[in-house]
């Protein structure tokens, strides 16, 4: 069976710095893969390569067998124009550390911005959908609030609803709770757990080991841009084989 999301020998450099080095992974439909590792280990860059925000220097990424950014012809990959790449990337939702909401738009307006402005969907239909999504993330009572009237946790939940509005096949989360006060972390993680229970395919960069243990189907530990160890949450977090993984977890757990 073709993986929903597949990365093949990714390599990404920034000048002389190798941020991602020969990373390959497959994510099955409905799977929740958690990427863990110390700061600067390449986790966020891997995520940005997966949705082509940072196109890899080497290797490729595919969603349901369709390679992002390229078209296969005569056994070779040929680069697609930016507009075609943007269409492909709609299959992948992305939630960042910072919420990046438009401050002058309400929660509802933030959610409908892309479906109406990019996909040209009918505004009235998308407003109804936005209200359903905001209810889904626990913000049915905040549909008309502006970002400045929302807590950090509420803003991040609006950002999740905004990503879901594009009906992605897979959701990527880049340390979505790192900018939140501790008391607000749980409300975001609970929304993510509910998405996982509903069958959403997810790749999550996180330092929340409890979330990785309880929700993750698989955990991948990265160091220096490479995959050091991967397996079930119980295997990697409970009985890590590699010394580097053991040292990292001894500081985190």
Q: Give the tens place of pLDDT for each residue, 36-85.
A: 999 999 999 999 999 999 999 999 999 999 999 988 777 777 889 888 98
Q: Give the tens place of pLDDT for each residue, 147-156.
A: 999 999 999 9
DSSP per position, the chain: ---SEEEEEEEEEETTEEEEEEEEEEE-TT-EEEEE-STTSSHHHHHHHHTTSS--SEEEEEETTEETTEEEETTEEEEPPHHHHHHHHTTEEEE-SS----TTS-HHHHHHHHHHHTS---HHHHHHHHHHHHHHTT-GGGTT--GGGS-HHHHHHHHHHHHHTT--SEEEEESTTTTS-HHHHHHHHHHHHHHHHTT-EEEEE-S-HHHHHHH-SEEEEEETTEEEEEE-HIIIIIS--SHHHHHHHHHH-
Q: Give the tens place of pLDDT for each residue, 81-122.
A: 888 988 999 999 999 999 999 999 999 999 999 999 988 999
pLDDT exceeds cutoff 80 at 19: yes
What per-residue confidence (pLDDT) applies to 183?
87
What per-residue confidence (pLDDT) applies to 73?
78
């Amino acid at each position: 069976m073709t993986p929903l999301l597949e990365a093949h020998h990714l390599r990404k450099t920034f000048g002389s710095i190798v941020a991602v080095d020969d990373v390959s992974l497959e994510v099955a439909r409905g799977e929740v893969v958690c990427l863990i590792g110390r700061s600067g280990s390449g986790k966020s860059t891997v995520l940005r390569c997966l949705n082509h925000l940072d196109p890899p220097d080497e290797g490729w990424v595919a969603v349901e067998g369709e390679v992002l950014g390229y078209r296969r012809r005569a056994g070779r990959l040929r680069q697609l124009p930016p507009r075609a790449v943007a269409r492909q990337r709609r299959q992948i939702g992305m939630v960042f550390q910072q919420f990046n909401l438009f401050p002058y738009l309400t929660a509802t307006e933030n959610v409908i911005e892309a479906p109406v402005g990019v996909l040209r969907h009918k505004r009235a239909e998308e407003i109804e959908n936005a209200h359903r999504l905001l209810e889904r993330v626990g913000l049915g009572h905040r549909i008309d609030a502006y970002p400045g009237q929302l807590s950090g946790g509420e803003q991040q939940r609006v950002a999740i609803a905004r990503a879901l509005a594009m009906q992605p096949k897979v959701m990527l989360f880049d340390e979505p709770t790192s900018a939140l006060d501790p008391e607000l972390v749980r409300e975001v993680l609970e929304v993510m757990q509910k998405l996982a229970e509903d069958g959403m395919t997810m790749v999550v960069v996180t330092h929340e080991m409890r979330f990785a243990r309880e929700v993750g189907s698989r955990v991948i530990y990265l160091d220096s841009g490479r995959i050091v160890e991967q397996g079930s949450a119980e295997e990697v977090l409970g009985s890590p084989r590699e010394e580097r993984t053991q040292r990292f977890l001894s500081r985190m757990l």
